[in-house]
C-alpha cells in the first residue's frame, strides 16, 4: 500500500498487473472508506510493486527531541472533491491540508459554511461556486479556493473553469481511460465512440474523475471520440485501437 498525494491509499497486487486498487476515504470506518477494486487502470504492467510518492509534507513534530531547528508547523490548505453519481449537486469534499492544522472553516460560495474536516454539501442549483477552505493552528492560517462549475450552465458574470478531458492510453488495446478533470462537475456527461464511417460503436456515462472505456469487440483502426454534457461539447479527439 502507498499513500498518494490525493489522500487516497493505493494498493498493488501480488503479481504483475496493470491495475491498482485504492481506498478513497481512508479516515472513515468500515464500508464508508470506499475500497475500489481495479479502480485505477495503468497503461503498463507493474511488476510486484507500486509507483512511489515520497511523503515530503510531514513537517516537524513540534516539541519533540527531533525538532532541533525549532520550526513551527504553518498549515497549508488544500482539498479534493467527489461528485455524487446520483445527484450532481451533492459534492463530498476531502481535506488534503498539511502541516498539522487544528481547525477547518469551509465557505461553499452559496451562503453555507461548515467546520467539518471533510464535509458533504448539496448546492442549491447548477452554476459556478467559489469554494474556499481555511485551515489554522496556533501558529498561522491558510486559505485555498477553487471555482467549481456544476453542470453546463454557468452563473452569468462568474468565471467558468476550464474543462479538462483526456483519453489514454492511446493507442489502446482492450481498454482506455477517460479522465474528466479541472473544476467542472458534469450534470449528465457521456462519452461516445464513432467508427471512421461515422456510425456509433460505443456510448457510456462518465463522471468527474477517472473512468474505464472497454474496447473488446472493436476492430483495429481509428475511432473518433467526444464527451458531451447535456449537449455541450466538452472535448473530442481520435483513438487508435490496436491488437
Pairwise CA distance, residues 241 & 172, whole Å: 5
- The 10 Å Cβ neighbour count of residue 41 is 18
Residue 180: its H or E element:
strand 175-182
pLDDT of residue 190: 94
Q: Give per-residue pLDDT as tens, 86-143.
A: 899 999 999 999 999 999 999 999 999 999 999 999 999 998 999 999 999 999 999 9
Q: Which residues contact 95 (CB under 8 A, 6 or more apart)?
A: 7, 78, 79, 104, 117, 118, 133, 135
> Distance between terminal CA atoms of the chain?
32
Helices and strands per DSSP (H, E), number in the chain? 0, 19
Same domain, 195 and 130: no
Q: How many domains does the chain have?
A: 3
| CB-based contact 161:169 (threshold 8 Å) | no
> Do 175 and 218 sit in the same domain of this protein?
yes
Domain that holds residue 229: 163-241
Residues 103 and 142 in one domain: yes
Are residues 168 and 237 part of one domain?
Answer: yes
Residue 42 located in a structural domain: yes
3-state secondary structure of 103: strand
168 grid coordinates:
489514454
> Among residues 120, 150, 180, which one ends one of the domains?
150
**Residues 171, 141 within the same domain:** no
Is the domain of 186 the same as that of 209? yes
3-state secondary structure of 101: coil
Listing DSSP states for 120-178 in one string gives: EEE-SSSEEEEEEEEEE-SS-EEEEEEEEEESSPPPTTS--PPEEEEEESSSBSSEEEE
Residue 65 within a domain: no
146, 167: one domain: no
Out of 150, 180, 200, a domain closes at 150
Q: Is residue 74 a part of any domain in this protein?
A: no
Of the CA atoms within 13 Å of residue 148, those in its CB half-sphere come to: 30
Contact residues for 121 (Cβ-Cβ < 8 A; gap 6+) = 90, 91, 93, 106, 108, 112, 114
Q: Minimal CA–CA distance to 142: which of 112, 97, 111, 109? A: 97
What's the CA gap between 227 and 194, in Å, rounded? 12
Residue 155 confidence (pLDDT):
46
Q: Is residue 73 part of a domain?
A: no
Q: How high is the pLDDT of residue 107?
A: 98
Whether residue 72 is contained in a domain is answered as no
Residues 140 and 180 in one domain: no
Do 131 and 173 belong to one domain?
Answer: no
Full pLDDT tens readout for the chain, 243 residues: 888 888 889 888 777 888 888 998 898 899 888 898 877 777 778 777 776 667 667 777 777 887 777 778 899 999 999 888 889 999 999 999 999 999 999 999 999 999 999 999 999 999 899 999 999 999 999 999 999 989 876 544 555 566 789 998 899 988 898 988 888 899 999 999 999 999 999 999 998 888 889 999 999 999 999 999 988 888 999 999 998
Q: Give tens-digit pLDDT for 109-122.
A: 999 999 999 999 99
66: in domain: no
- Report if residue 139 sits inside a domain: yes
136 and 86 assigned to the same domain: yes
Residues 141, 200, single domain; the answer is no
Please choose, from the candidates 108, 106, 112, the residue with its C-alpha nearest in 3D space to the C-alpha of residue 136: 106
CATH number at residue 167: 2.60.40.10
Quote the cell numbers at residue 194. Answer: 464513432
Residue 169 included in any domain: yes
Amino acid at each position: 500500500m502507498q499513500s498518494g498525494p490525493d489522500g487516497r491509499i493505493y494498493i498493488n497486487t501480488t503479481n504483475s498487473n496493470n491495475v491498482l486498487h485504492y481506498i478513497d476515504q481512508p479516515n472513515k470506518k468500515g464500508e464508508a472508506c470506499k475500497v475500489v477494486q481495479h479502480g485505477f487502470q495503468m497503461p503498463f504492467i507493474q511488476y510486484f510493486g507500486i509507483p512511489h510518492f515520497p511523503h515530503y509534507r510531514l513537517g516537524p513534530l513540534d516539541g519533540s527531541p527531533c525538532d532541533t531547528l525549532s520550526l513551527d508547523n504553518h498549515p497549508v490548505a488544500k482539498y479534493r472533491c467527489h461528485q455524487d453519481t446520483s445527484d450532481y449537486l451533492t459534492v463530498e469534499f476531502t481535506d488534503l491540508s498539511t502541516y498539522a492544522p487544528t481547525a477547518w472553516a469551509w465557505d461553499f460560495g452559496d451562503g453555507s459554511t461548515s467546520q467539518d474536516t471533510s464535509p458533504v454539501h448539496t448546492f442549491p442549483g447548477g452554476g459556478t461556486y467559489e469554494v474556499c477552505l481555511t485551515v489554522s493552528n496556533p501558529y498561522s492560517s491558510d486559505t485555498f479556493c477553487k471555482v467549481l462549475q456544476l453542470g453546463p450552465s454557468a452563473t452569468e458574470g462568474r468565471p467558468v473553469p476550464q474543462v479538462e478531458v483526456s483519453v489514454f492510453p492511446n493507442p489502446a488495446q482492450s481498454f482506455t481511460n477517460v479522465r474528466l478533470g479541472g473544476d467542472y462537475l458534469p450534470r449528465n456527461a457521456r462519452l461516445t465512440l464513432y467508427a471512421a464511417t461515422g456510425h456509433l460503436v460505443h456510448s457510456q456515462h462518465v463522471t468527474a474523475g477517472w473512468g474505464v472505456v472497454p474496447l473488446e469487440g472493436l476492430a483495429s483502426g481509428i475511432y473518433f471520440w467526444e464527451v458531451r454534457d447535456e449537449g455541450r461539447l466538452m472535448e473530442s479527439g481520435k483513438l487508435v485501437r490496436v491488437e
